[in-house]
Chains A and B, each alone.
Chain A
Amino acid sequence: MVAKPTVQEINSLEQLLKLTAVAAAAIAALIIIWYLVKRPPLGRLTKVLLLFGLGVMPIGVALTGNVSGFEYTLKREFCSSCHVMLPYTEDAADPRSNSLAAIHSRNATFGGESCYTCHADYALFGAMTTKLNGLKHLYYYITEYASSGPYGEKGPRIHLYKPFKNGSCTRCHSTTAPNWLAREEHAGMIEDLRKGDAGCIDCHGGAQVHPRSFNHGGNGRAPTASAAGEKKE
């Protein structure tokens, strides 16, 4: 029988940053508490220590904490922390689901961050605009979805702020692979797809991507939990 390790291993940049932030916060807190309890004279040593406790260490916490927090917001786990996202994230995490979201979420390279990977903007400031939209999500979540039922069924229907761009798909599906071009439908509209006159989601959207979404005819739950006879698109 193998003994369980008592110290958790650090497996990612996020964990390393988190550990650094916690260590810096602990050092800062110790210095501050020492100052508040002992009330030493504000001599040179105290001032330098306080500069560390009130300046250097907290700045370190802010920097590493920000990056760590940003890294965490990329994860599907973070998206699923809002109940209104459960129809999307539970399906994405379901190994039995054949939806496009679930298939992409099983990809070992980016599956854990599949929401962000497919829905982030890809412009120069794409990450920034995506995160600003995230703040908008939070505002709507608090103002409109707080008491909207376990899957958000009583709230307004969730929709994208702007049309889904082909670039989000063609970033990986380059439209140049022989297998992709071999599909008659793809070959016939390749120029329109590249120009954006035709959308990938015109054929691959809706219930194919997020079958449990209320917008696409789902009821939020897995098919086995669906009400009998519920109509799906």
Chain B
Amino acid sequence: MIGLSKITVRRLVNVSAVLTLVALGLMVAGLFWPSPLLLVLAMSLGQLFGTSSLALYLLAIALDLQGVGEDEALGGGDRPQS
């Protein structure tokens, strides 16, 4: 095992969110400045990041359903709960 217990749901979602922003940036840049290189990057790296981020999010949801990282995930992340 790779130590799934250490991977919190929230961290996975955070990574997924950042990856998605990068992917969206690349894809939108390809729309506004459609140079050959940028279009290729948007259609390859952009979609690779986008697909990876969705996969990470789905993994996070699956882990959440199994109760992994439950305290952090449901309790509002790294903010202390009252």
Contacts and interface: CB of A to CB of B under 8 A. Distances in A.
A91 B19 CA distance: 43
A138 B18 CA distance: 29
B74 A54 contact: no
Contact count band on A? 35 or more
Contacts of A25: 24, 27-28
A140 B82 CA distance: 61
Nearest to A134: B36
Contacts, number: 107
A195 B80 CA distance: 79
Given A21-B27, A32-B20, A58 B40 contact: no
Contacts of A55: 54, 57-58
Interface stretch (A59-67, A96-104, A116-124, A174-182): A59-67
A82 B34 CA distance: 12
Contact of A51 (B9, B14, B39, B57): B57
A69 B38 CA distance: 10
A163 interface: no
A40 interface: yes
B5 interface: no
A41 interface: yes
Interface size bracket, B side: 35 or more
A11 B81 CA distance: 53
Contacts of B47: 62
B39 to A, nearest CB: 5
A162 B64 CA distance: 55
Contacts of A164: none
B71 to A, nearest CB: 11
Interface string A38-62: 0111110001001101110011011
B27 A62 contact: yes
Contacts of A81: 34-36
A42 B20 contact: no
* 6 nearest A-B pairs in the assembled complex, by CB-CB distance: A41-B76, A54-B57, A42-B73, A32-B17, A58-B50, A65-B27
16 contacts: A22-B28, A25-B27, A32-B20, A35-B13, A36-B18, A42-B9, A42-B77, A58-B24, A62-B27, A62-B46, A65-B31, A69-B39, A73-B39, A81-B36, A135-B40, A141-B36
